[in-house]
Structure 1
Amino acid sequence: MNLKTYAATSVGSSLEFKSIDAEPNGTTDIVIKVTHCGICHSDVHMIDNDWGMSQYPLVPGHEVVGEVVEVGGAISHLKAGDRVGVGWQRSACLECDECVSGNENMCDQTKSVIGDGFGGFADHLIVDGRFAFPLPDGVESRFAGPLMCGGITVYSALRHAGMIGGQRVGVVGIGGLGHMAVKFASALGNEVVAFTTSPDKAEEAASYGASSAVNVREEGALENYQGKPLDLIVSTVPKALQVELYLNLLKSDGTMSFVGVPDEPLSVPLFPMLVKRRRIMSSPIGGRAEIRDMLRVSDQCGVAPVIEEFAMADVNTAMQKVRDNSVRYRAVLVN
């Protein structure tokens, strides 16, 4: 079939309208008519080949929402007309120890939507149907795309850091990832403390469910923190942090998890971890069962990202706003 796409043809280039021929495999692939597609900073990294894995022409877009129009013969849980979402992962082997234990996202043979095929900045997407997820009725299509990557990233990080409910949770950074982390943690019955460098975002965090906010640019804000010790902290910022100051805010057996990748190596002192048996971890996207659970929580608790919508034809305008970090908070393309 002929895909009508917006593609980068070289490293760092603007996106151009481009027709690309591609065919589903007839067994596990499905074809989705794209209605919405979120823009993630990972799309920028791939366009710029920051991770050394990009192939051109590169069609970005891995927060895809649309309607199933064609189903491979081996797919039984989807049918034409179903509304589905697709995230970063295109496929996995589904046979290794990671896959059979529910960690398909950590499979050594994983393939990505935009690194191993053509993404959702297009009229149609071809993807392994086993990695497409029926959307609950209460999750609107315009909000679903960012949930499929940014949403599952913070949800999985919170869960694997030990979040259940009735806890005290810190979220570092109130941006594209952080605002969703606040919403999920709050919706599941936790007291949330937001750590931000922006006074206006501190105010916004309260509207997303944060119980309090700390402006870390204020001198001594972390050293003189008067709140109760936190059970866990999730950092969503792509900048280096004074890790020791955050570790000291954790209770015994507390965990600090990183989903934002700092732009320089972290300096981590051992003593603040040793004296309270604290832990540091990081977390990628979630597996399929976790994605379904995240969508269930989003549906039942009304968790939705804050978005700005753009027509698909205005993709370069939207991409520039993402590059400039001027989107509040996630950009979504609409076909």
Structure 2
Amino acid sequence: MIRAYAALEKGGELKPFEYDPKPLGSEDVEIDVEYCGICHSDLSMLHNDWGMTQYPFVPGHEVVGKIADVGSAVKKLQVGQRVGLGWYSRSCMTCEWCMSGNHNLCATAEGTIVGRYGGFADKVRAHEAWVAPLPDAMQPVSAGPLFCGGITVFNPIVQFDVKPTDRVGVIGIGGLGHMALRFLHAWGCDVSAFSSSADKEPEAREMGANHFINSRDPNALKSVEGSFDLILSTVNADLDWSTYIACLRPKGRLHFVGVVPNPISTEIFPLIMAQRSISGSPLGSPATVTQMLDFATRHQIEPIIETFSFDQVNEALEHLRSGKARYRIVLKH
């Protein structure tokens, strides 16, 4: 039996829950969970905001732990090895996207907490391809958030061939944004933090921002028009997107990794005349996850975390829901 914490209904309190897993698949591994991060996606799924939650619902997709068992055909992982698991737990391995190394774009990719039980548990299972070995030099307690928030902001750097000479803005200095600042600074970019909280400036600069822009100040926004090669939006809020598009250089890109509540509306003329673009991306492929882990280890990049024990899971969720998290929450056994 696997012991977990589950919500039995939409938005419900998480309670102790046990389930009997099916026999381990030949290409699957079972992980003894040591740590599991809490993400805003866990809250969204808990409340069925995306219309795909099944109950009982066991959250948790920022897992770090040790391999407890492996299927008969598993080749790259061994019992006792410390690993991480993120949003995806499986993909088909045969479609054009998987075959081209873009497993994260597989139309049938399986989410770790979508239609199955996640990592708020003592064990969790996944296909070996989506389970990444943790570098020896990486701290396991803080590594979990890299497997969702970290790869979410690292993936666009790779996908869009961001250069060290690029000027990049990050909207929102929260769970995603603070990791984006650290990655982009280590990448060599000239990094600007956009935030509506002026008191975050010292911390944003400590995280790697070369510049700080108070997004509540129209003059500050006006002063950086035509400045950025890339603006990365990490927020889950509706903003005046035309203002940020005006801050892009020709061929600049406004890229979304935060899920905004409402459709994006903007005039098309500023996009056409300067060949600007708007885009979005999910998490990265297994290969990009490995690249991120290597880069984070080399540059000693880790998320800023707060820890709670697993039996404090509801308290931890409320801490996140109330906006008090600084900046990622990790549950530990």
Normalising by the residue count of structure 1, what TM-score does the alignment of the two structures yield?
A: 0.97
- Alpha-carbon distance, 1:263 to partner: 1.4
- Alpha-carbon distance, 1:163 to partner: 1.2
- SS at structure 1 position matched to 2:315: helix
Q: Give 2:26's aligned residue.
A: 27
Q: 1:243 pairs with 232, 241, 244, which one?
A: 241
Q: Give 1:44's aligned residue.
A: 43
Distance change in 2, residues 1:38/1:26 (3 Å): same
| Cα distance in structure 2, aligned partners of 1:41 and 1:161 | 25
Q: Give 2:291's aligned residue.
A: 293
Aligned pair count reads 333
Higher mean displacement: 325-334 or 102-111:
102-111
Q: Deviations over 1:78-116 (max 9, x none)?
A: 001100000000101000001111111111111111113
Q: Kindly indicate whether the alpha-carbon contact (under 8 Å) linking 1:161 and 1:232 is maintained by their aligned counterparts in 2.
A: no
Q: 2:253 pairs with 255, 261, 268, which one?
A: 255
Q: Give 1:279's aligned residue.
A: 277
Q: Deviations over 1:15-55 (max 9, x none)?
A: 00111111343401111110000000111111111111111
The one-letter code matched in structure 1 to 2:237 is K
Gaps of 5+ in 1: none
- Alpha-carbon distance, 1:206 to partner: 0.2
- Alpha-carbon distance, 1:224 to partner: 2.9
Q: Give 1:330's aligned residue.
A: 328
| Cα distance in structure 2, aligned partners of 1:317 and 1:24 | 33
- SS at structure 2 position matched to 1:221: helix
- SS at structure 1 position matched to 2:44: helix
Higher mean displacement: 72-81 or 261-270:
261-270
- Alpha-carbon distance, 1:216 to partner: 0.8
| Cα distance in structure 2, aligned partners of 1:294 and 1:201 | 26
Q: Kindly indicate whether the alpha-carbon contact (under 8 Å) linking 1:193 and 1:213 is maintained by their aligned counterparts in 2.
A: yes
| Cα distance in structure 2, aligned partners of 1:159 and 1:244 | 26
| Cα distance in structure 2, aligned partners of 1:70 and 1:160 | 34
Q: Give 1:57's aligned residue.
A: 56
Q: Kindly indicate whether the alpha-carbon contact (under 8 Å) linking 1:28 and 1:74 is maintained by their aligned counterparts in 2.
A: yes
Q: Kindly indicate whether the alpha-carbon contact (under 8 Å) linking 1:202 and 1:213 is maintained by their aligned counterparts in 2.
A: yes
Q: Deviations over 1:134-180 (max 9, x none)?
A: 01112211111100000000111233243132211100000000010
| Cα distance in structure 1, aligned partners of 2:241 and 2:218 | 16
Of all paired residues, the percent bearing the same amino acid is: 43
Q: Deviations over 1:174-220 (max 9, x none)?
A: 00000101110001111100000011222211001100100111243
| Cα distance in structure 1, aligned partners of 2:135 and 2:322 | 33
Q: Give 1:314's aligned residue.
A: 312
- SS at structure 1 position matched to 2:31: strand
- SS at structure 2 position matched to 1:275: helix
Gaps of 5+ in 2: none
